[in-house]
Chain A
Amino acid sequence: MTDQDETGEAITILLVEDDAPTCWRLQDALTKAGYEVRTAGTLGEARSGLAAGAPRVLLTDLRLPDGHGVELIRETRQRFPNTEIMVISALGDEESVISAITVGATGYLLKDAFPTDIATTVRDLVAGHSPISASIARFIVRRTQNSAEPPPGPALNTAKLTPREIDILWGIAKGFSYAEIAGHLGLSRQTVPGHIKNIYRKLEVHTRSEAVFEAVQQGLIKL
């Protein structure tokens, strides 16, 4: 069985991960699920991989031997707007995931996820669903509450979020399922993932100058 996108071609994935066993594991899980996987161990390799052609999905670790994954995500988002970008995280810590989201990532994957979950997550992402965890939802929602002292971590432009989207984030943070949230808010179950994708897009920094500013703010770039 081979996963295919609407055009009928096999879904290509560029996997950027410097730790070889982890890389093998993820590659195995994705290949088994029918994806076409290319791998890169460094930022440089990933760039040449991208030069060869836009993958459907970019899966990248953040800490790479020759640079930060955030740079790769930003470049990819600018050059290939149709590529889905996902961060690979060891612990799913909010700060690195959110940093990635602000430059264009729309999902994240835990390195220790079960093989089936890995495949499912990528499939959902291609289908337009962004995964979000309770702790990340909590992190975003907390940024929408104006506090006198800005909390540590990446700056987020949460002002663009609608009350409905914030309600959805609250529901996720408190452990409700999409169906429960849809029920509480009187939405159709199918619209919740779309809202979450929207939230991701809204958090993304759009202009180049904003990106640089944000990057400086986050200490990703030193001027």
Chain B
Amino acid sequence: MSEIAAKAVTTRQKQRLARIVPYLLLQALIVIASLLGLRLLEPRDPDDFAVSEFSLREAGTTRPVTLPDFTASRYSLADPPLYSGSFVFRADGAGTTWSVFLPRFSNGVEVAINGVTILDSRRDPTANRPDRNTPEIAMIPASLLRKGSNDISVRLFVWGPLRGFLDTVYVGPDAALRPAFETRTLLFVTLPVVFSAWQSILAVILAIMWLMRRHEPVYGVLAAAMVLGVVQAFITPPVPPAASSRLVGVLLSSAPIESALIVASAVLFLGWRWPRYGVLLFVPGLIVIAGGLIAGPPLPRILFLLLGIPTVGFCLVLMAGIAAYAVFRRQDVASFALGCAATVVLTCWVHDILSVFEIMPNERTFVSRLSYSALLIAIGAGLTWRFARALNQVDSFAGQLVARVREAEERLKASFAREEARARAAALANERTRLMRDLHDGLGGQLISIVALSERGHEGATITDAARAALKDLRLVIDSMDDIGGDLMLALGSWRERAVMQLRPHDIALDWRVATPQGLPLHPELRPWHVIQIVRILDEAVTNAVKHADARHITVTVETRNDGQGPYGAISVADDGRGFALGEDGEAAGASQTARGVRNMRSRARRCGAVLELSTDESGTRVRLQLPQIFPDSDAAGG
């Protein structure tokens, strides 16, 4: 490893250390804050009305006790411990109602005043759950109270494995006791319901997320954990000795599975792979359930105490560790919130354990379940944060895409414009070349012949003819450059005028016949150079008729034909002259100028994809030009 690399690693380590130390300090602060919070939240009871001196008859022996008191652990509900005591009733004459208030007990109580039972907590399902610190209050019917000393007896039903617990009993005016009761109800009954409702909403959201995004198992795992939590919170536990469904009882101890699921989802949430041995985390929970299904109470409760609660603790420690590691590695909001929540829950869990083992002197108030809401908040916050971040990413991604598409569009436009300009330039150059060639062949030659003729002192007809031919050619070239929109008829219209003008001095009639209404089909692909070729062929035919055939009439027929393979145009030029001799090969023989003319006509026809038919006899010559259905784009025959 090079020195620089080593230095970089050290720097990174230092940075990480600088990150983790404040985090750990913060967690310590959170632990202290949690403990202070628990102390502050501890409900205050009306001590003026406390009744704590009781005699306890347990297992056949009677001894005086001071509440709060722990009984021995027992698994049979027969012969429950009985607390007997007395209180003084002072009638104030205003008919004040008196009540008995039990802030905390486990697991069930039956309270009797002067031998008459006024309260049996076993009828209240939530009161039977040791993890809920349910208080009870019962009004004492006025008829039961005697002035002066009254008897109170409390039977404590204990279903292990924990020892039974009875907190101080309060007897006094209902108005004095009820606020304390309300506070406890709010804290330990209403609040858990609110949290559970919240958890069920979270479960629904997560389930939907998972259904829509199956490839992210984190949502499914978390949804399963939430569902388990909700079921656990809302299912009414069976009251011993009622022999109700074993499974229901077992579900109550589902906490280890729920916590294992949450650990799994945290691992997945942070984008790590869930290790195979992670399955072991579920084993204690499964053992509890299996034990419950096989043996029934009290085995699942014992197993829960021995396996479940430590598993929950282990999971919490794991969570805290995972979150700390994530903060250490990535330092994002979600892992930070998760870590803080895990610390809070872990603190409360330790508090509960200490309370179970009676190391921490308190009223055996279990707060783990309550503090679990901190984790729910962290999960909700984490999900929302992640969702918002994903939305931001989508937004910025969309923005980037839009920018990129616009960029690409611009580039495309530019390249398209370049391409267009290039194509235009190429087309222009092509046209120029063709025009040059045409002018060279026609006008150029004619002008040269005029020069030659005038140099030799010729006068009159020959020069005139050459000059006229040159002018005609010039008009032809100019005319063919005009945009006729693919309608060859427009080019033929101009040609007809020129031909008539040319024929008039020779006293030859031009018979113009358009055999089909539309004349010729439209050719969108028609280019000026096609037009030049066709018009020159027609010119050549007319010139031959004038110069060599001694014709009196020339008939030009324009028509659209269709042989079943689509329409095509046909132009024929027929004269009534004496014709000329055609050679064996169909080429003109004899007069060399005619032969050259015919060769020219054929080559021009070939160039624009047309077919030229020539027939000649003593009754006249007929040139038939069959136009292609589509004119070729390039000069096929070259030259």
Which A residues contact B (CB, under 8 angstroms)?
Answer: 91-93, 112-114, 116-117, 133-135, 137-138, 172-177, 180
Q: Assess whether A174 is in contact with B504, with CB atoms less than 8 Å apart.
A: no
Given the known inter-chain contacts A133-B494, A135-B494, A175-B494, please indicate yes or no for A114 contacting B504, CB distance below 8 A.
yes
A-B complex: 7 closest residue pairs judged by Cβ atoms: A175-B493, A134-B493, A175-B496, A174-B489, A134-B494, A174-B493, A135-B494
- Nearest CB in chain B: distance from A195 CB, A: 17
Which B residues contact A (CB, under 8 angstroms)?
Answer: 467-468, 471, 474-475, 478-479, 482, 484, 487, 489-490, 492-497, 501, 504-505, 512, 514, 519
Contacts of B505 in A (CB 8 A): 114
Q: List 9 A-B contacts (CB under 8 A).
A: A112-B468, A113-B501, A114-B501, A114-B504, A134-B496, A134-B497, A173-B490, A173-B493, A180-B514
- Nearest CB in chain B: distance from A190 CB, A: 20
- Nearest CB in chain B: distance from A158 CB, A: 17
Query: In whole angstroms, what is the CA distance A16 to B471 when docked?
Result: 22
- Nearest CB in chain B: distance from A178 CB, A: 12
Q: Assess whether A138 is in contact with B493, with CB atoms less than 8 Å apart.
A: yes
Contacts of B490 in A (CB 8 A): 134, 138, 173-174
Q: Pick the contact of A177 from B475, B479, B495, B512 — CB < 8 Å?
A: B512
- Nearest CB in chain A: distance from B447 CB, A: 14
Q: Assess whether A92 is in contact with B489, with CB atoms less than 8 Å apart.
A: no
- Nearest CB in chain B: distance from A94 CB, A: 8
Q: Assess whether B492 is in contact with A174, with CB atoms less than 8 Å apart.
A: yes
Residue of A nearest to B505 (CB): A114
- Nearest CB in chain B: distance from A8 CB, A: 30
Query: In whole angstroms, what is the CA distance A176 to B490 when docked?
Result: 10
Q: Assess whether B468 is in contact with A133, with CB atoms less than 8 Å apart.
A: no
Residue of B nearest to A115 (CB): B505
Contacts of A117 in B (CB 8 A): 501, 504
- Nearest CB in chain B: distance from A67 CB, A: 26
Query: In whole angstroms, what is the CA distance A117 to B504 when docked?
Result: 9
Q: Assess whether A175 is in contact with B504, with CB atoms less than 8 Å apart.
A: no
- Nearest CB in chain B: distance from A116 CB, A: 8
Residue from the set B471, B482, B493, B496 with the largest chain A CB neighbour count within 10 Å: B493
Q: Pick the contact of B478 from A93, A114, A180 — CB < 8 Å?
A: A93
Contacts of A112 in B (CB 8 A): 467-468, 471
Contacts of A138 in B (CB 8 A): 482, 484, 490, 493-494
Contacts of A137 in B (CB 8 A): 493
Q: Assess whether B478 is in contact with A175, with CB atoms less than 8 Å apart.
A: no
Contacts of A113 in B (CB 8 A): 501
Contacts of A116 in B (CB 8 A): 504
Residue of A nearest to B492 (CB): A175
Q: Known pairs A112-B467, A117-B504, A138-B484. 11 more at Cβ < 8 A? A: A91-B471, A134-B490, A135-B482, A135-B494, A138-B494, A173-B490, A174-B489, A174-B492, A175-B493, A175-B494, A175-B512
Contacts of B519 in A (CB 8 A): 174
Q: Assess whether B496 is in contact with A92, with CB atoms less than 8 Å apart.
A: no
Contacts of B468 in A (CB 8 A): 112
Contacts of A173 in B (CB 8 A): 490, 493
Query: In whole angstroms, what is the CA distance A172 to B475 when docked?
Result: 18
Contacts of A176 in B (CB 8 A): 493, 512, 514
Query: In whole angstroms, what is the CA distance A83 to B512 when docked?
Result: 35
Residue of A nearest to B468 (CB): A112
Query: In whole angstroms, what is the CA distance A177 to B510 when docked?
Result: 11
Contacts of B493 in A (CB 8 A): 134-135, 137-138, 172-176
Contacts of B512 in A (CB 8 A): 175-177, 180
- Nearest CB in chain A: distance from B398 CB, A: 36
Q: Pick the contact of B475 from A91, A175, A180 — CB < 8 Å?
A: A91
- Nearest CB in chain A: distance from B561 CB, A: 18
Query: In whole angstroms, what is the CA distance A113 to B493 when docked?
Result: 18
Q: Assess whether A175 is in contact with B489, with CB atoms less than 8 Å apart.
A: yes
Residue of B nearest to A134 (CB): B493
Query: In whole angstroms, what is the CA distance A137 to B487 when docked?
Result: 14
- Nearest CB in chain A: distance from B491 CB, A: 9
Residue of A nearest to B487 (CB): A174
- Nearest CB in chain A: distance from B380 CB, A: 61
Residue from the set A133, A134, A172 with the largest chain B CB neighbour count within 10 Å: A134
- Nearest CB in chain A: distance from B435 CB, A: 16
Contacts of B497 in A (CB 8 A): 133-134, 175
